[in-house]
Amino acid sequence: EVQLVESGGGLVQAGGSLRLSCATSGFSFDDYAMGWFRQAPGKGREGVSCIRSTIGSTYTADSVKGRFAISADNAKKTVWLQMDNLKPEDTAVYYCAARSPVGSTCTAWGDHLVGSWGQGTQVTVSA
């Protein structure tokens, strides 16, 4: 059974930091592009960042570039999103995702190719 379990969300003041974790099981982690999406109230889902470290493929949205950093450990089958200098507009539910098919890259990181989702973790940034 494929599982993606997020943790690390919470409430933080603007300028603060959070680190999201996504622990996975049930599939060959290093064969998939892994990453994060977010969805703010009343808005569509936005691709935030992606990584497939075995082939050096990464993506980071312009809206978070320079503030967020994605990393992964293939042995631990875990992906992290370090979020620094958080802004109120970063408030959203953050979802971990695995892209299909096997061998995928981070090119055009959009939700139409996501094969598996985590349950989501809330991030709230107060002004």
CB 51 within 8 A of CB 57: yes
Residue among 45, 124, 118 at smallest CA distance from 80: 118
Give the integer Cα–Cα distance in Å for 119 and 81: 16
Each residue's pLDDT expressed in tens, for the chain with a length of 127 residues: 999 999 999 999 999 999 999 999 999 999 999 999 999 999 999 999 999 989 999 999 999 999 999 999 999 999 999 999 999 999 999 999 999 887 789 998 998 889 999 999 999 999 9
Return the C-alpha torsion angle 39, 45, 51, 57, nearest 10.
-150
Q: Are strands 45-52 and 57-60 parallel, antiparallel or unpaired?
A: antiparallel
Q: What is the pLDDT of residue 100?
A: 83
CB 114 within 8 A of CB 98: yes
